[in-house]
Structure 1
């Protein structure tokens, strides 16, 4: 049985009661306290991290505050490479300058407004629910759209934006953020808060505490040379699924108790491993 971050973890005890031999794997995609989950779910997750047969995390930092004794493994984030590769038609007018922001998690509308006000020659395209704000006329809000419709806006943009209002707690997004991988696969410079500086070579940071040169930030993104190495190590979903399958507990081990999972490396090992796969 596979459980995802969120209310689904409430069914863990019911799964065990229904089938005591069921192997339960928990995909820890986000920190529950970051996405606004209840304190009950946050506490329940601590229990799950020891009781599940395996916990998969998509960032080294996602494992840091879990209690000892759980069976943990690294399952890196991935993207739909064929969908991006098959996209060949730009939605943008010829010779226009365009920025794209996808997804509303921890969305900083104030930063978007500031960028747009200081760069009226750039059109800013926002995809996702809950992105309303006091924007200038060069910001277009599309709301939620099918992912296939969004792909060309990402692929042919001049740069991507990851406007996370971050604290140290959210640093796991440096490895787990799907938009960072999608932008990088499309060779886009990424405008992002300074806490993500150095997370990827294509990040153009801005000062979250009070950026004084928004126009300069945007200009650096517009003129950045696109490096094919930005794609290195980004996995397709098929590649990610193969890695996850390799980590799953095997039936033969269940009769002898909970199967062993690969142990987590130390901090240096995590860094080397995550860099080697580009997450």
Structure 2
């Protein structure tokens, strides 16, 4: 089998997303190629995480048994945001598609299965149907398109082509709300790397004491720690990789760390008293309850978690609060401190995720629940 992954991520990037783990498993099954798109000189103005790979742009390389290509152009199409600028947006996308990269054209023609990650990738679906109509086409819904604010051109294209794809793989049943009506939707949860258990010792904390940990920068809310550190002076709050540094109002019991390699964060999670997902918005997409990696990691290590009410979901080990509300934050932390250490559910191995993506109709648990 020959697999092709089309994404705005790059397989060689330092920061890993779910599509990277999917690709690792595909490489065990056959020839696997990863084509990274929507990268240009504009990307350097937006702190694109692929900037460190700039010297590899427009070159074929092999990384961990995967053929990789980062397509860099002078300018790439993007969301113009203003409706009166939509003609410019459409022009940019049509121009981008008019002269597709030859490596992409070749890899599409040779692929048996093509994965489109949510974002810009579905705009290449018509190219696939023209040059390789026999290929199976699988959409990986890492995020809802409205949530990541894709261009109107991308959303319109996806709505048109989605029913024609072999399978739409949703990370959460809640994602179906943002999908066009079709019978090819399946729920395939986010996978998990169980090897993290091998790297979670020893404890980084001094003996005794109560420690809470927050990992990552997505929608990070520093106000949570301004409130919590004053309400709970006996708790030491460890903030890793928030991208914001120490903030005015933090108590002396707050420790701030720069971003660190993923495996180095694991002991901080395993040996904490509770975990925090301090998203700053109360209007979070419901599917984040099932797709938040930090919440999955907390649950794997049987860590009670504090998070906004909107993403507690049906996880008994999570305790919700309203962002900015001191009383609800305090109540959530009190509940987490009193909670037993248990896991709400067992995640899938990434190999199981890929098995379901390739043959979703064969798995009863992948069927979308009835409304």
TM-score, normalization: structure 1? 0.80
Whole-angstrom distance in 2 between the partners of 1:238 and 1:156: 28
The structure 2 residue matched to 1:139, chosen from 248, 254, 260, is 254
Whole-angstrom distance in 2 between the partners of 1:152 and 1:48: 44
**Paired position in structure 1 for 2:368:** 264
**Paired position in structure 1 for 2:222:** 109
Q: Where does structure 1 differ by over 4 angstroms across 4 or more consecutive aligned residues?
A: 166-169
The structure 2 residue matched to 1:123, chosen from 222, 230, 236, is 236
**Paired position in structure 2 for 1:78:** 191
| Partners of 1:49 and 1:70 within 8 A in 2 | no
Q: Tell me the number of residue pairs that the alignment of Structure 1 and Structure 2 aligns.
A: 253
> Equivalences for 1:109-188 in 2 at 5 Å?
109-132=222-245, 133-134=247-248, 135-167=250-282, 170-188=285-303
> Equivalences for 1:6-155 in 2 at 5 Å?
6-132=119-245, 133-134=247-248, 135-155=250-270
Question: Which SS does the other structure have where 1:69 is aligned?
Answer: coil
Distance change in 2, residues 1:66/1:216 (3 Å): closer
**Paired position in structure 2 for 1:219:** 334
Whole-angstrom distance in 2 between the partners of 1:32 and 1:101: 26
Give per-residue Cα distances to partners, 1:47-77, cap 9 Å, x unaligned.
Answer: 3422322110010010123111251111111
Whole-angstrom distance in 2 between the partners of 1:244 and 1:53: 10
* 1:188, distance to aligned residue in structure 2 (A): 0.6
Whole-angstrom distance in 1 between the partners of 2:221 and 2:182: 37
In structure 1, the gaps of 5 or more residues are 250-261, 268-279
Larger Rg: 2
**Paired position in structure 1 for 2:316:** 201
* 1:263, distance to aligned residue in structure 2 (A): 5.5
TM-score, normalization: structure 2? 0.61
* 1:92, distance to aligned residue in structure 2 (A): 1.2
* 1:216, distance to aligned residue in structure 2 (A): 4.2
| Partners of 1:79 and 1:236 within 8 A in 2 | yes
* 1:197, distance to aligned residue in structure 2 (A): 4.1
Whole-angstrom distance in 1 between the partners of 2:242 and 2:155: 25
* 1:164, distance to aligned residue in structure 2 (A): 2.4
Question: Which SS does the other structure have where 1:106 is aligned?
Answer: coil
Give per-residue Cα distances to partners, 1:64-94, cap 9 Å, x unaligned.
Answer: 2311125111111121112224533111111
| Partners of 2:199 and 2:267 within 8 A in 1 | no
Distance change in 2, residues 1:65/1:232 (3 Å): closer
* 1:30, distance to aligned residue in structure 2 (A): 1.1
Distance change in 2, residues 1:13/1:171 (3 Å): same
**Structure 1 residues 171-180 or 44-53, which shifts more?**
44-53
In structure 2, the gaps of 5 or more residues are 1-113
| Partners of 2:188 and 2:353 within 8 A in 1 | yes
Q: Which has the higher contact order (CA 8 A, sep 6+)?
A: 1
Tell me how large the CA RMSD over aligned residues is. 2.5
Whole-angstrom distance in 2 between the partners of 1:128 and 1:104: 6
